[in-house]
């Protein structure tokens, strides 16, 4: 069963990050229909969801959604993980699915560096080796970033989360709530990073910050398909009549938290927003399971959702490069979207199809 709700959320999250980076390139007081459209979309999205004043809410949505989608096949078919070749199949699909787009994003980032700083294209192999070499250090304990495309830091952490998924399943076998306890225990490492002067931007998007968000998505899908008896308070909140009111109350609490601007407050407010998204996913998927026909009209979002990873990975250096080459706002906006879609056709979609074929061979 294909869940159209996930496509809508994925598409809106990708558009929100794109709109923010496009809006940031305009000077204060800029005019024009396109600028106003993008600016007000970005302002509305941030007003509705940006009370955490930390990591971009679109990125938080992506991470929670990633945990949900990665665990979805296992939640629907729990016995699948016991197949002899399950893990080779899993890692093959993840690696072949995500790594080519990461490399292409690194190339786009280096091209931006070439355009703006006059570096030689001959240094591209060295830049790619650097960007590959920082994958594990960047995710866990270093604040280095890919050259010219810093947004790929979240893609790096995503790869680290994929590697950690077997550990989460092992912990869940020991105790259903142990992954959550473990994730939030690791989350406390960020306090040490901040205390010792590490870059707050890296702290807000490192492995330790994203792991609890990812685990929230895992629990949301687990409770959809394999409901265990949760704690009594949570059980009452999951009831159909109580859930919307409780979710609305939590959302109001999140909006009010926007007035809490103390240093480090985002370390509490971002997980609160992640929980809000995970809970919303649970309710929406439950509704789609009960009435799938009502959600099929959302299929119009499929194309944008399918290419959302490419849009996320490529848009930032493309926007910067096209503006650096003195293109106008319409040319940058539609040119970025056109190049992103071309790269989706040339890189992401073929790698996605290849990952499925290789995974099938492993199960043959």
Domain holding 82, by residue range, is 4-363
What does the pLDDT read at residue 231?
Answer: 62
What does the pLDDT read at residue 364?
Answer: 59
**Mean pLDDT over the full length of the chain:** 88
Q: Judge whether 89 and 359 are in contact, CB under 8 Å.
A: yes
- pLDDT tops 80 at residue 19: yes
What does the pLDDT read at residue 302?
Answer: 85
Q: Which residues have a Cβ under 8 Å from the Cβ of 358 and sit 6 or more positions away? A: 92, 93, 96
**What single DSSP character describes residue 27?**
P
For the stretch 85-127, pLDDT in tens is 899 999 999 999 999 999 999 999 999 999 999 889 999 999 9
Provide the token pair at 145: 């970033």
Phi-psi region of 113 (alpha: psi -120 to 50; beta: other; left: phi over 0): alpha
What is the total count of domains within the chain?
1
Instruction: Encode 161-212 in three state secondary structure.
Output: HHHHHHHHHHHHHHCCCHHHHHHHHHHCHHHHHHHCCCCHHHHCCCHHHHHH
Tell which wins on pLDDT, 105 or 303: 105
For the stretch 37-77, pLDDT in tens is 898 999 999 999 999 888 899 999 999 999 999 999 999 88
pLDDT band at 261 (very low <50, low <70, confident <90, very high): confident
Q: Judge whether 348 and 310 are in contact, CB under 8 Å.
A: yes
Cβ of 149: how many Cβ atoms within 10 Å? 27
User: Is the whole model's pTM more than 0.85, yes or no?
Assistant: yes
Tell which wins on pLDDT, 261 or 153: 153
């Amino acid at each position: 069963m294909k869940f159209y709700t996930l496509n809508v959320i994925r598409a809106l999250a990708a558009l929100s990050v794109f709109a923010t980076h496009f809006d940031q390139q305009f000077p204060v007081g800029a005019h024009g229909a396109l600028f106003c459209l993008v600016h007000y979309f970005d302002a509305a999205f941030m007003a509705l969801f940006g009370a955490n004043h930390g990591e971009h809410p679109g990125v938080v949505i992506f991470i929670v959604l990633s945990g949900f989608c990665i665990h979805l096949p296992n939640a629907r078919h729990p016995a699948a993980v016991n197949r002899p070749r399950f893990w080779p199949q899993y890692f093959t699909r993840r690696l072949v699915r995500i790594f080519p787009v990461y490399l292409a994003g690194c190339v786009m980032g280096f091209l931006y560096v070439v355009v703006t700083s006059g570096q030689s294209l001959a240094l591209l192999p060295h830049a790619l080796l650097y960007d590959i070499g920082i994958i594990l250090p960047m995710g866990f304990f270093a604040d280095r970033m890919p050259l010219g495309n810093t947004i790929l830091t979240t893609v790096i952490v995503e790869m680290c989360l994929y590697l950690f998924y077997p550990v989460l399943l092992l912990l869940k076998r020991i105790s259903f709530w142990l992954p959550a306890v473990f994730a939030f225990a690791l989350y406390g490492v960020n306090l040490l990073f901040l205390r010792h002067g590490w870059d707050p931007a890296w702290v807000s998007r490192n492995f330790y910050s994203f792991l609890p968000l990812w685990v929230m998505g895992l629990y949301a899908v687990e409770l959809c398909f394999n409901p265990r008896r949760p704690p009594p308070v949570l059980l009452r909140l999951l009831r159909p009549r109580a859930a919307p009111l409780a979710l609305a109350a939590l959302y109001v609490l999140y909006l009010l938290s926007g007035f809490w601007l103390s240093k480090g407050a985002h370390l509490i407010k971002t997980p609160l927003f992640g929980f809000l998204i995970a809970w919303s996913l649970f309710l929406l998927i439950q509704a789609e399971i009960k009435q799938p026909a009502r959600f099929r009209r959302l299929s119009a979002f499929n194309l944008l959702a399918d290419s959302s990873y490419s849009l996320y990975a490529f848009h930032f250096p493309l926007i910067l490069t096209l503006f650096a080459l003195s293109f106008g706002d319409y040319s940058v906006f539609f040119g970025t979207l056109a190049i992103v879609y071309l790269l989706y056709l040339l890189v992401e979609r073929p790698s996605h199809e290849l990952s499925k074929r290789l995974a099938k061979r492993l199960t043959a």
